[in-house]
Structure formats: structure tokens, C-alpha cells
Amino acid sequence: MITGASAGIGVAAARRLARAGLKVVLVARRLDRLQRLADEIQTAGGDVQVLVADLSRESERVRVHETAPDADVLVNNAGFGWYGYGCNMPWDVAGSMIRVNVEALVHLTLLYLPVMRRRGFGHVVNVGSIAGSMPNQGVTVYSATKAFADAFTTSLYRELRGTGVHISIVRPGPVSTEFYALARERQAGMPVPAERFAISAERVADCIWSVLCRPRRVAFVPGYLWLTRWVEPYFDWFIDRLGPLLLRRAARAPQP
């Protein structure tokens, strides 16, 4: 099961896992996009199921689980971002982000883990971000949601050791998806400077497949980003000074 499967990392992950022979269940709000992806996967010989759901709603998450209760793999990919001064972030945007980035991830994980535990196998892959371990200016709530995903994954990883059930978090850097366009378009949002360094969604999908084949708690994309775990503890003083400058520069940039 892949959430947020109508765009970006979700689409790339669906293609990658279907190509590897897994039946994929696509979950997102936009039926037209899901159906196009499903047709593509079926044409290539893959097995696919489409579930339209708004994962910000608890009842919709329960319905997804009741419709497809036996998933061996859950990829919690659904989420969105916003860039700008935290004090300018509208509550409806912040609240929706928390419901999708945090509540949906936790709820779906807790719905599927008991079944995986009873069977003695299964894998949950949470799509995080280096922003979770490097909280930066402009992505206040987003960074907090990804830090939550880091802590949630780590705790469950330690609980599940020896059970045959795995949980992992993939921490990509900037990824070339519609994330950046949507971050700009949301109320009071701004352009995200990191967009210029973005990697392809396919590289993240390859990493998701890698952790399914070789389970581990955390994987970085690109791999050299493991160095970021040392950046915050040792260079936070530098980030404290540079970060505000980057945010002010983004605020002055002309809006497209």
C-alpha cells in the first residue's frame, strides 16, 4: 500500500514496486491521476488496486484499512509542505499538514502493525526528510512533522526487533516533485530555495525498494546525506546565522 500515490515519490514508488512484482494498492485523493497510473502499471503487466481517500480524515483511513486489510508493505508517503515565516502560516494549512503528515502516518501504521505482528512479517516504510533532523527556517511545521516521524519510527523499530516485522524511515533531501509548486501556491507560501538542489523521485523509489530488500532503520537519499546527522550538533551556530538570511532572501524574491 502506497499513500500519496498520485504524484511525485508515490508515483515513482508504485512503478518501482510494481516492476519488482508486488501488487500495489494506490491511495490518494485524485482519482484521475490514480487511474492513469493504474492503467500504466496494468499495461506493463503489473497488479494494481486503486483506493480514493482523503487521509486527513480519520474515517477515510479506517475505510482504507477495511478495504485492503492484508497489506504486507505500507509506504506512508502522503504529505505536503509549506515555506515561509512560521508566524504567517495560516492555521488551516498547519492543521491540515499535521493531520496528513502526522496523524495519517501514525493511524495507518497502528492499523496495519497488529496484523503484521500476528503473521510475523511485514514492513512499514515512512517517507521522512532531512528536515526532520535539521529543523530549518521556513519549514517550521513541516520540520516538526518529519521530526515526529523520525522519533516514531525509531521507537517502533526498537519495539519490533526480533518480531519479523520491520519499520524504516527514508530521509531524502530536496526531491523534484510538485511539493515546491504547492508550497508556493498555498496561502502566504514562498519559493523554496532548496528546489535548485532537488533529486529525482525515482532515486527515492529505488531507496524504498532497497530498504524492503535489506531492512534497516534509516536510509538517506542521496547516501552522502548521512553526514547531516552531524551538521546540527556541530554547526547549529552557523545555521542560526545563515538560515534567517536565506529566508529573507526568499521573501524578497519575485513570485511566479
Q: Contact at 8 Å (CB) between 249 and 137?
A: no
Closest CA to 81 of 59, 61, 107, 101: 101
Catalytic residue among 112, 142, 157, 180: 142
Q: Contact at 8 Å (CB) between 4 and 28?
A: yes
Residue 27: CB atoms within 10 Å: 30
Dihedral of the alpha carbons of 222, 224, 229, 231, in degrees to the nearest 10: -110
142 is catalytic: yes
Look up cell 501504521; give the residue: 109
Look up cell 517517507; give the residue: 127
Instruction: Give dist(CA 7, CA 11) in Å, integer.
Output: 5
Q: Contact at 8 Å (CB) between 100 and 77?
A: no
> Which residues participate in catalysis according to the annotation?
142
